[in-house]
Amino acid sequence: MKVPFPLLEVEELRVSFFTPDLVVPAVEGVTFSIARGQTLALVGESGSGKSVTAYSILRLIQPPGRMTGGRILLRSARVGDIDIAKLEDDSDRLFEVRGGLISMIFQEPMTALSPVHTIGSQIAEAILLHRPIGKTVARELTLEMLDKVGIAPATRCYEQYPHELSGGMRQRVVIAMALVCRPELLIADEPTTALDVTIQAQILGLIKTLQREIGCSVLLITHDFGVVAQMADEVAVMQRGKIVERGEVRAVLKNPQHAYTRALLDALSSRRHPA
Amino acid sequence: MNEPGAIPAAAPLLSVRGLCKHFPVLSRGFRRPSSEWVKAVDNVNFDIAQGETLGLVGESGCGKTTTARCALRAIDPTAGEVFFRLPDGRVVDLARLSAGELKPVRRHVQMIFQDPVSSLNPRMTVRDIVGEPLVIHGLARGDELETRVAEVLARVGLKPEHRTRYPHAFSGGQRQRIGIARAIIMRPSLIVCDEATSALDVSVQAQVLDLLKELQREFRLTYLFVAHNLDVVRNFCDRVAVMRKGRIVELAPTPQIFAAPQHAYTRILLSAVPSPDPDVKMNFNVGEELAKLDAAE
Ligand SMILES: Nc1ncnc2c1ncn2[C@@H]1O[C@H](COP(=O)(O)OP(=O)(O)O)[C@@H](O)[C@H]1O
Ligand SMILES: Nc1ncnc2c1ncn2[C@@H]1O[C@H](COP(=O)(O)OP(=O)(O)O)[C@@H](O)[C@H]1O
Ligand SMILES: [Mg+2]
Ligand SMILES: [Mg+2]
C-alpha cells in the first residue's frame, strides 16, 4: 500500500522475544504507510502483534524483545527523513521523536501518568522537555490544552491528581499531554477499549477534532471494526504477526478479500443479526 | 406470594419487585454514621420466564452487578422482594430467607463472571474448581465426583487431560469454559452471567455465546445476562432491560429495543455504538445529549 504523501513508512518490520528456551516471533515482516493528516487503523485480535508494532515505532521494545529487521522511515516536515530503526538508543534524535514528533496514548491512561504529580505539572513538564519556553508559557499552554480536551474548569484540573478523575477524564488528560507539543503522528493503542460506549464516543470525537486542528496523522490500534469504520481512512488487518489485508476502509469492510478479515466481520455481524 | 406452594407454569422463574440497595457514602476511607447514601439499585422490577434470557445493560457503575448480586442474595438488599420458583414449584422470597434456608436454594442459582478463575486459589486444578460446588453442597465425592467433572468438562469442550492443569495456563475463552462448567455442574435453573464475555475477542465471544445457547436448550436454563456492551446482547437475549443510575429506564423485547427504542437514554446509548458499516455514522455528540437529559430530569 503506497500512499501519496506518506508521513511514516514501515517496511519489513520484524520483532521477536528471546526467552530462555524459545524465540517467539511477534511481528514477522510488517509493511505499511500512513499518509499525512490521515488515520490508519491497525486491527486484529489480541496477541496479533499490534502493540509490539506500535512500540517498535517509538523504539520502546524492551528485552527479551528485540527488533531484528526492518525500516521505520519518518518523513518529518520539521526535521526531514529519519529511519527510526537506525537511531542510537540514547540519541537526541530519538528523544525528539518520542513525544515531540510522535506521541502515544495507551488503553490504560495511568501508563502515561504519574500518580504523585498534579495533572498540570505533568503536562507542563511534557512541554518543557520539548520546547524552549518558560514555565509561565508552559502553564498557559497546558490550561489551553486542558480546555480543548473538554475539561472544565481547566484551572481546577491543573491542581488535581490523576486518581481524582474518572477513567474517561484521565484519557482526556493523556490526550492533552500527547497533543500539546503538536506531534506529526499520534499513536493510539486501544485508547477506548476500557471505556463505556458513551465515553468512547466522546474520546473518539475528541481525537478526530484535534487531529483536524493539529493536522497530525493517527495510527489507531483497535480490535473493533466499528471503531475502524468510524475513524479510519485506511485499515491494515493483522493476524499472528503479519498484515493479511490492507486498503481503504470502505473497500475492505464492504468487500473483504482475505478469509480472516471475513471471519472477523462475520463474527461481528452474527452478533448483530439473528442466524 | 412468598408462601410456599405450587404456582401456575406460566409464572416467572424469577420475579424482582421494588429492589433497592443503598450503600453508605464513604468519605476519606472512613465509614461515618452519615445520612448520605448511594442508591446503587433504586426500585428495580423485572421478571424472567423459565428458559428466557434477559439482558441487563448499562454503563459501568449504573448498578447491574449490584442488582444481580441482590437478586441471588449474594448481598442483602436494602428493600424489595426476589421471588424464585424452585424446581418443585414452591416459590421463595430470596430476599427474606435465613442463611439456613438459603443454603439448599443456592444450588439452583449460579453465577459466571468476567474472569471466573482469577478470584480463585491459583493452586486449585481445573478438577478442584469445577468439582468444588458439588463438594460444598455434599452432592458427590470419590468416583462419582470424578465422573461428573469429566462429563461436564467434555460438555463445555475441554479435554479430559485438562483436569489436572492449573487455570492460569488457559486462554480467556478456555477459562470462561471452566467457569461455565463450574456453574452447570450444579444443574441450576438460573444462571447470572456478569460480563461473562466482555473481555473476549469477538470470535471467541461468539463461540462462548454459542455454547451458552446450546446449554440453555439442553438444560432448560434461564439466563440473566449482564453486559455493558449493547452489541453482545443483540442476538443473545430475548428481552433487554436498560439500566441507568440504579433504575431500569426501559425493558422491552430485544428487536424493539434496537429498532424502536422508547427512552431517550436508550437512543443515546445505541447511537454511540460505532457501526462497522462506514455509511452508518456514529454519534460523537453523546456528551451534550446526556447533559441535556440530566438537565431535563
Ligand atoms: N514481554 C513479552 N514476552 C514474550 N512475548 C511477548 C511479550 N510481549 C509480547 N509478546 C508476544 O508478542 C505477541 C504480540 O503481542 P502484542 O503486540 O501485545 O499483541 P496485541 O497488541 O495485538 O494484542 C504476543 O502474542 C506474544 O507472543
Ligand atoms: N460494596 C460497595 N460499597 C459501596 N458502594 C458500592 C459497593 N458496590 C457497588 N457500589 C456502588 O454502587 C454503584 C453500582 O455499582 P455496580 O453495581 O458495580 O455497577 P455496574 O455493575 O453496573 O458497573 C456504583 O456507584 C458503585 O460505586
Ligand atoms: Mg495490544
Ligand atoms: Mg458490574
Start-to-end C-alpha separation, chain A:
35
* For residues B105-110, average pLDDT: 96
Residue type, B258: F
Q: Angle CA(A15)–CA(A18)–CA(A23) in degrees, nearest 5? A: 85
User: Is the CB of B231 inside 8 Å of chain A's CB atoms?
Assistant: yes
Question: Is the pLDDT reported for residue A274 higher than 60?
Answer: no
Instruction: Give bridge partners of residue B84 from the DSSP assignment.
Output: B14, B92
Ligand nearest to the CA of A23: 1
Question: By the CB < 8 Å criterion, does A136 face chain B?
Answer: no
- Which residue puts its alpha carbon closest to atom 27 of ligand 2? B61
Angstrom distance (rounded) from CA A238 to CA A222: 11
In this structure, is residue B270 part of a structural domain? yes
Nearest CA in chain A to B230: A197
Residue A64 preceded by cis peptide, ω within 30: yes
Q: What is the pLDDT of residue A269?
A: 79
Q: A192: how many CB neighbours lie within 10 A of its CB?
A: 24
Q: Is B228 a domain residue? A: no
CB A265 within 8 A of CB A254: no
The answer to whether residue B32 scores a pLDDT higher than 70 is no
pLDDT of residue A155: 96
Out of A198, A226, A267, whose CB is closest to B275? A226
Best residue of B60, B243, B284 to probe chain A, by most A CBs closer than 10 Å: B284
B140 occurs within a structural domain: no
Coil, helix or strand at residue A19: coil
Partners of A18 in the β-ladder: A23
> What are phi and psi for residue A173, nearest 5 degrees?
-60, -45
Residue B4 in this model has a pLDDT that exceeds 50: no
Place of cell 487503523: A41
Of A79, A51, A57, A48, nearest in space to A13 by CA: A57
Q: Report whether residue A77 contacts ligand 1, using a CB cutoff of 6 Å.
A: no
Confidence of residue B6 (pLDDT cuts 50, 70, 90): very low
The mean pLDDT value for B26-53 works out to 83
Least confident span in A107-111, A182-186, A201-205, A230-234: A107-111
Name which of B236, B238, B242 is nearest B270 in CA terms: B242
Among the partner-chain residues A46, A230, A270, the one whose CB lies closest to the CB of B274 is A230
Interface residue B64 vs chain A (CB under 8 A): no
For residue B135, being part of any structural domain is answered with no
> Closest partner residue to B272 among A201, A253, A270, by Cβ?
A201
Q: Tally Cβ neighbours within 10 Å of residue A43.
A: 25
**Residue for cell digits 500518580?**
A115
Interface check for B287 against chain A (CB to CB < 8 A): the answer is yes
Mean pLDDT lowest among A94-108, B16-30, B69-83: B16-30
From CA A110, how far away is CA A177, in angstroms rounded?
A: 12
Q: Is residue B274 assigned to a domain?
A: yes
Q: What is the dihedral of CA A252, A253, A259, A265, to 10 degrees?
A: 160
Q: In what order do the strands lie in the sheet with B247-253?
A: B109-112, B190-194, B222-227, B53-57, B239-244, B247-253
With cell 480463585, the residue in question is: B120
In a domain, B35, yes or no: no
Grid coordinates of B261:
427504542
With a Cβ cut-off of 6 Å, ligand 2 is lined by: B 23, 38, 40, 58, 60-66
CA B31 vs. chain centroid, Å, equals 29
A175 CA to middle of ligand 2, Å?
A: 28
Domain limits for position B275 = 263-297
Q: What is the pLDDT of residues A18-67, one digit of tens each?
A: 999 999 999 999 999 999 999 999 999 999 999 999 999 999 999 999 99
Q: How confident is the model at residue B30 (pLDDT cuts 50, 70, 90)?
A: low
Whether ipTM exceeds 0.85: yes
Q: Which pLDDT band, with edges at 50, 70 and 90, does B99 fall under?
A: very high
Q: What is the pLDDT of residues A147-183, one digit of tens each?
A: 999 998 999 999 999 999 999 999 999 999 999 999 9
pLDDT at A16 over 70: yes
Query: Quick one: pLDDT at residue A152?
Result: 87
* Average pLDDT of the segment spanning A241-264: 97
Closest listed residue to residue A126, CA positions, set A138, A134, A114, A140: A138
**With an 8 Å Cβ cutoff, are A272 and B231 in contact?**
yes
Chain A residue with CA closest to B291: the answer is: A198
| Closest ligand by atom to A55 CA | 1
The number of beta carbons lying within 10 Å of the beta carbon of residue B265 is: 23
The number of folded domains in chain B is: 1
Q: What is the pTM of this model?
A: 0.93
For the stretch B145-199, pLDDT in tens is 999 999 999 999 999 899 999 988 899 999 999 999 999 999 999 999 999 999 8
* B277 belongs to a structural domain: yes
Cα distance between residue A235 and residue A242, in whole Å: 14
B124 belongs to a structural domain: no
Whether B2 shows a pLDDT value over 50: the answer reads no
CB A123 within 8 A of CB A154: no
Q: Which three cell numbers stand for residue B64?
A: 447491574
* pLDDT of A122 above 70: yes
What is the reported pLDDT for B9? 46
pLDDT at B126: 94
CB pairs under 8 A between A and B: 101
* Parallel, antiparallel or unpaired: strands A217-222 and B79-85: unpaired
Question: What type of residue is B95?
Answer: A
User: CB contact, 8 Å: B35 with chain A?
Assistant: no
Asked if pLDDT for residue B222 goes beyond 50, the answer is: yes
